[in-house]
Structure 1
Amino acid sequence: MTSERTYAEAAKAWPFEEARKLVARYAGKAPKKGYVLFETGYGPSGLPHIGTFGEVVRTTMVRQAFQRLSDIPTRLFAFSDDMDGLRKVPTNVPNQEMLAQHLGKPLTKVPDPFGKYESFGHHNNAMLRGFLDSFGFEYEFQSSTDYYMSGRFDQGLLDVLKHYEQVMEIMLPSLREERAASYSPFLPLCQKTGRVLQVPVLEHNAAAGTIVYQDEDGSKVETPVTGGRCKLQWKPDWAMRWHVLGVDYEMSGKDLIPSVQLANKICRELGSPPPDGFNYELFLDDQGQKISKSKGNGLSVEEWLAYAPPESLALFMYQKPRAAKRLYFDVIPRAVDDYITFVEKFDGETEAQRMENPAWHIHNGKPPKDKAQLSYGILLNLASVCNAEAKETLWGFITRYKPDATPATAPFLDKLVGYAINYYRDHVKPTKKYRAPDATEKAALADLLAYLDKAPGTASAEDLQNEVYEIGKRHGFTELRAWFKALYEVLLGQDQGPRFGSFIALYGRKETADLIRRALAGEDLAA
């Protein structure tokens, strides 16, 4: 019997392609540190966002694929750059005047504006851990402040000091002339104010492990680069971290390609191979513009999770990571139904097919047994035609259609019902716009009404769908899409909808017939 590893070695899914790069990196032998290290970085000047989720879930997928290809142990570090200085006061936190007094200080030395934690950095680190824990990610949290202050970065800092000129040669061509004139990879921490200083370095002494810089008051100060007295600019810092920790894999956004290239060069200069990884595309808003945290023109994790399960967001992140994708409310229903389809296909697939199925990567090879039973699109349209505000309304129809299904026996379906009601209320109901049928559509609707009034009780969703097709053909709809679009616009007040036969089976033949009668009579279906 072919082993799981054999299938994994042939799998074409992108996490396996990425994982094979790591297999080749060590040719089956564990590195000196004894494990392969995956890393994701996080800047804790703000709260975790959808990009944070995307980077961790994608990295986790590569890690899971690697675990099928190799017996080498793995670890995943979620690394917080909490030694960075606070550059500006966030607009979405309290006590902004207080924060303004601490600009420039490391985030772990800035008081928590919420008054709950030791510092603003500790607060946002706690938010990050809670965020990742809520999705069940397996990771190890690491703090830049801990590494700098404990001395774990000391050797890396000394290595950068030893290669000071080479690091400068790598960095200076990437900087504007004004910036290059005062640039140094080292940022000293002022012993008077505690701020991270962007000041010229006048001398560097690798043998002594010190630099001399010009303080903000004009005085010259000599300080060790070790022991938390200095930190590095972020690109050299990134490279030094890879060097010290032996990071093997880290992905980043397409906008950071130049930064990755610089950090790779510095890492090699320090004597270590840079990590493998790839650059994912950035998300676009509904207008096709790049999403910006400062503009707030995207979709947050919290907003997505108000309308759909986290697995659907994981699927969105899995699909085409190197392609720019619109990340807006209207992508949610499709993502949910795609997820449902992949899970439902899984049990009937071969082992090789399963490894190409996104559900394998979302659930580490073990998708849940609790199936949806109904599509999100069907539930949305049921909510729409019922103008539903409560789960009980939809469950009244569902239990008639599927007598064995209850909120207790079908918990995932019950969650979908709640999500669908939320989405209908916020994003469908405000845009519903019914129209009257034209003469051709009236005749076809009357034909459909006549059929529903006498359809046998044993008619299945497929039987109903076939009859809807035949009625459309009989009434001259050469493009059947136009017939279905008419059904959606006249009966549901929207230009898209579900398989209509499935909708009739769920909503009920009598109820659908009554809906058609009202439309033909010119009644206001929005009422």
Structure 2
Amino acid sequence: MFWADSIVDDFLAAYEEEAGKRKLILRDEKTLSGRPHVGSLRSFVMHAVLSDVLHSRGVDNVFYYEINDTDAFDSVPSYVDSSWSEHLGKRLKDVPSPDGKAENYAIYFANEYTEVLKDAKFNVEFYVSSERYEAGEYDKYIALALDNKDKIREIYKEVSGSQKDESWYPCQVICDGCGKIATTRVTGWDGEKVQYSCDAKLKYTQGCSHSGEKSPFGGNATMPWKVEWAAKFCVVKVDLEGAGKDHYAAGGSRHVSNRICEEVFDHKHPFDVRHEFILMEGSKMSSSSGVGATAVDLYQLLPRYLFRFMMIQKDVMKTINFSPDGDTIPVLFDQYDEACNDYFNGGEDVIEHKNRIFEFTHYYEDDIKKRNRFLPRFSQISFYSQMPHVDMEKRVEEMKGAELNDLDKEELELRVKYSEKWLETCSPEKYIYKLREDLPEECANLDEEQKGFLKLLAEYLEENPAATGHDVQTFIHDKKKELGFQPAVIFRAIYASLLGKDSGPKAGWLIEALDNQFLINRFKEAAK
């Protein structure tokens, strides 16, 4: 079963009555501490796909995505000027935009992120965290948290073992002296105002020593994030909200927030969903440190449908390993091509969940039948795009065995575009095939057996000027058996004489893509 169908089945079993009476609400969020990395998309896409599956079953719902601009600015990314360190400790909303144009730091990074999400055609409604604070929607829960600080302390201790001092209050206000929020400490609460001191000394900033009192309402304060998370469940009236599996570990933050939601705020906590992460070569990515591919960078490497396919195809409890400078992108295209072929041409043996993955990859399209087109293999297109004087359309027509229609040509144009982009930016060396204009110096290391084979290959091309790549590949394998050549020996000779490398693309592709007379002259020269 498709992972999203399985989760929706469980969710509707728990929310059967609500589903028939009102619009169900799904929620997720992102703190804009820097350029959002691709890892942040795992949670977003999970919620977006669950929303789509609910819609496909006729269940009215909405997916809200919060742009969190009220967290503290706690580090300056490598790509932001170091002078921004003077703003450390302030809310992201109160930090100026790096380009001096956007409303603030958070909105600056939110703009490029949300543009990607919109272009990827996921159904979502965005909102900004501070707007709900300033509208007073959190006031009730701030007051409840302050009134029940001892109960919250007990929950922290019972669930996670965290010990909070008796003087601790689950609230931080904006300092009237320096504008920071991370360095303030509430020291008292009279039911209307809090007393506070800006005296915290953190690793990245410290308070200004100002003391005062103020109302914590109307956007003047926030709550510790486990308490705030519970308040968000209530404010947005969330029915389903998932999180990374680390939040669900024993004593984890989700368990703390769920209990605060129910025992302090008297509100049913949302349906829980866990997910795994996206790893960049085995390491979890961080947006504030600048480590890892950003969502924008990745999106620009992939066509929309492949971006969606990558994010949807794996069960949410399985890790996605992504390496743009490895085999990830060619393999993704191959996996998509297989899924597409199975969807349109597969028999009864095609597993239903694979078809569901394909359907939700293209859920945004009016007519999925338009995806039924010829799909030339990405690795072949990336190879041919590097060969001089190749008639790409003719080559692909030969692959198809028929003339290309308009949809085929559209797909070919797209794959040429993305193969060239991949080759220019991040493909591994093994996929880069630069034809040497002169005889490579590596040919000096060829032995007599290799030279003899190159001579035979040159003679074959002279006698068969119209030979196809398949014909050449057959000749190579026949001679290999007839003369007892080792495969690695003869293929190394071909690649050395043309590319100056020990390996390369399928030999038939390479030879078919090049001028016949050039090949004859080069192989004869290398055989001397």
TM range (shorter): 0.7 to 0.9
- Correspondence list, 1:229-244, <5 A: 229-244=220-235
Bigger shift: residues 442-451 or 252-261:
442-451
Q: Which deviations, in whole Å up to 9, do the C-alpha atoms of 1:332-370 show, x marking residues without a partner?
A: 222123223322332123697454243223112837426
Distance across 1 between alignment mates of 2:110 and 2:233: 21
User: Contact 1:354/1:360 (CA < 8 Å) preserved in 2?
Assistant: no
The one-letter code matched in structure 2 to 1:195 is: K
From 64, 68, 72, the equivalent of 1:81 is 68
Deviation at 1:241, TM superposition (A): 0.7
1:336 to 327, 333, 353: 333
CA RMSD in angstroms, aligned pairs only: 4.0
One-letter amino acid of the counterpart of residue 275, structure 2: N
Indicate the residue corresponding to 1:91 in structure 2: 78
1:267 and 2:266 are equivalent in the alignment: no
Q: Distance in 2 between matches of 1:28 and 1:520?
A: 80
Structure 2 residue 15 is matched with structure 1 residue 26: yes
Residue equivalent to 1:214:
197
Contact kept, 8 Å, 2:497 with 2:522, in 1: the verdict is: no
* Aligned counterpart, 1:7: none
Please list the CA deviations of residues 196-225 of structure 1 after superposition, one character each: whole Å capped at 9, or x if unmatched: 2443333345xx365443354767645444
Change (3 A) 1:272 1:399: same
1:77 CA displacement = 1.1
Secondary structure of the equivalent of 1:340? helix
Structure 2 CA distance for aligned equivalents of residues 452 and 251 of structure 1: 62
**Change beyond 3 A, Cα 1:494–1:80:** farther
- 1:477 deviates by 6.7
Whether 1:144 aligns to 2:129 is: yes
Match of 2:522 in 1: 518
Q: 1:89 to 1:421 in 2, by over 3 A?
A: closer
1:167 lines up with 2:147 in the alignment: no
- After the TM superposition, which residues 23-422 of structure 1 pair with which residues of structure 2 at under 5 Å, given as runs? 23-27=12-16, 29-30=18-19, 34-68=22-56, 70-93=57-80, 97=83, 99-172=84-157, 174=160, 183-204=168-189, 208=191, 210-216=193-199, 221-257=212-248, 258-269=252-263, 270=265, 271-285=267-281, 288-293=282-287, 296=290, 298-320=292-314, 321=316, 322-323=318-319, 325-330=321-326, 331-349=328-346, 353=351, 355-357=353-355, 358-364=357-363, 366=368, 368-369=370-371, 371-384=373-386, 386=387, 394-395=392-393, 397-398=395-396, 404-405=403-404, 410-422=409-421
Q: 1:509 to 1:299 in 2, by over 3 A?
A: closer
Alignment partners' CA distance in 1, 2:175 and 2:150: 24
The alpha-carbon deviation at position 475 of structure 1 amounts to: 4.8
1:13-61, Cα deviation, whole Å (9 max, x unpaired): 22222222222221364276x2222222111121232123333233322
Q: 1: CA distance between counterparts of 2:7 and 2:485?
A: 48
Give 2:203's aligned residue. none
| Offset, 1:292 | 4.2
**For the Cα contact (< 8 Å) 2:35–2:294, is it kept in 1?**
no
Residues 121/510 of structure 1: CA separation in 2 closer, same or farther (3 Å cut): closer
Partner of 1:356: helix, strand, or coil?
Answer: helix
Alpha-carbon distance in 1 for matches of 2:429, 2:198: 61
* TM, length-normalised to structure 1: 0.78
Over the matched positions of the two proteins, sequence identity in percent amounts to: 23
Residues 134-174 of structure 1, C-alpha deviations (whole Å, 9 max, x = no match): 22222101111011110122333334334422222233575
2:27/2:64 contact within 8 Å kept? yes
Are positions 1:17 and 2:6 aligned together? yes
Whole-angstrom CA distance in 2 between matches of 1:451 and 1:262: 74
Task: Give yes or no for contact 1:248–1:276 (8 Å, CA) kept in 2.
Answer: no
Unpaired runs of at least 5, structure 1: 1-11
Contact 2:458 2:519 in 1 (8 A): no
Which residue identity lines up with residue 115 of structure 1 in the other structure? G
Give the Cα–Cα distance (whole angstroms) in 1 for the partners of residues 115 and 354 of structure 2. 31
> Residues 230 and 299 of structure 1: is their aligned pair in 2 closer, same or farther, counting only changes over 3 Å?
closer
Is this contact kept in 2: 1:313–1:335, CA < 8 A?
Answer: no
1:1-24 C-alpha deviation (Å, 9 max, x unpaired): xxxxxxxxxxx1222222222222
- 1:8 equivalent in structure 2: none
* Partner-residue secondary structure (3-state), 1:214: strand
What is the total number of aligned residue pairs between the two structures? 495
**In 2, Cα distance between the equivalents of 1:514 and 1:317?**
45
Distance change (3 Å), C-alpha of 1:283 and 1:182: farther
Q: In the alignment, is the contact (CA less than 8 A) between 1:242 and 1:275 conserved in 2? A: no
Greater CA deviation, 71-80 or 400-409? 400-409
Query: Normalised by the size of structure 2, how large is the TM-score?
Result: 0.78
Provide the residue aligned with 2:204 in structure 1. none
Which runs of 5 or more residues in structure 2 are unaligned? 200-207, 435-439
**Residue in 2 aligned with 1:5?**
none
Which secondary structure does the structure 2 equivalent of 1:190 belong to? coil
C-alpha separation between the residues in 2 aligned to 1:372 and 1:119?
A: 46
Residue by residue over 1:105-128, the C-alpha shift from the partner in whole angstroms, topping out at 9 and shown as x without a partner, is 322233323122332233233333
Structure 2: distance between partners of 1:482 and 1:341: 33
